[in-house]
Amino acid sequence: MANIREVARRAGVGVGTVSRALNGSGYVAEETKERIQAIARELDYNPNELARNLFRNRTGIVGVVVPDMENPFFSKLLKYMEIELYKNSYKALICNTIEISSREQDFIDMLKANVVDGIITGAHSLQDDAYHNLNKPVVAMDRNLGSDIPVIHSDHKAGGRMAAELLLEAGCRNVLQFGGSFRVHTPSNDRHMEFCRVMEENGAAVNTIELAWNMMGYDYYRNVMNQYMDIYRNIDGVFTTDIVALYCMDMAKQRNIPVPEKLHIVGYDAIDVTRLFTPNLTSIAQNIPLLAKTCVDTMMDLLDGKKVEMEQILDVSVQRGGTV
- Find the range with the poorest average confidence among 19-23, 86-90, 242-246: 19-23
Higher pLDDT, 144 or 159: 159
The reply to whether CATH 1.10.260.40 applies to domain 4-55 is: yes
Give, in words, the CATH class of 61-153+288-315: alpha beta
Asked if pLDDT for residue 100 goes beyond 70, the answer is no
Whether pTM > 0.85 for this model: the answer is no
pLDDT for 185 equals 72
The reply to whether CATH 3.40.50.2300 applies to domain 156-286 is: yes
Domains in the chain: boundaries: 4-55, 61-153+288-315, 156-286
Q: Per-residue pLDDT tens for 36-54?
A: 989 988 888 877 665 566 5
- Find the range with the poorest average confidence among 22-26, 100-104, 222-226, 296-300: 22-26
pLDDT above 70: percentage of residues in the chain = 90
Domains 61-153+288-315 and 156-286 share a fold: yes
Asked if pLDDT for residue 83 goes beyond 80, the answer is yes
pLDDT for 28 equals 86
Section 79-107 average pLDDT: 87
Higher pLDDT, 208 or 213: 208
Q: Per-residue pLDDT tens for 129-157?
A: 788 888 899 999 999 988 899 999 999 99
Q: Per-residue pLDDT tens for 163-178?
A: 999 999 999 999 999 9
pLDDT above 90: percentage of residues in the chain = 59
pLDDT for 55 equals 55
Higher pLDDT, 216 or 245: 245
Higher pLDDT, 50 or 314: 314
Asked if pLDDT for residue 283 goes beyond 70, the answer is yes
Asked if pLDDT for residue 34 goes beyond 70, the answer is yes
Asked if pLDDT for residue 317 goes beyond 80, the answer is yes
Section 251-277 average pLDDT: 94
Cα–Cα nearest to 221, from 207, 237, 242, 236: 242
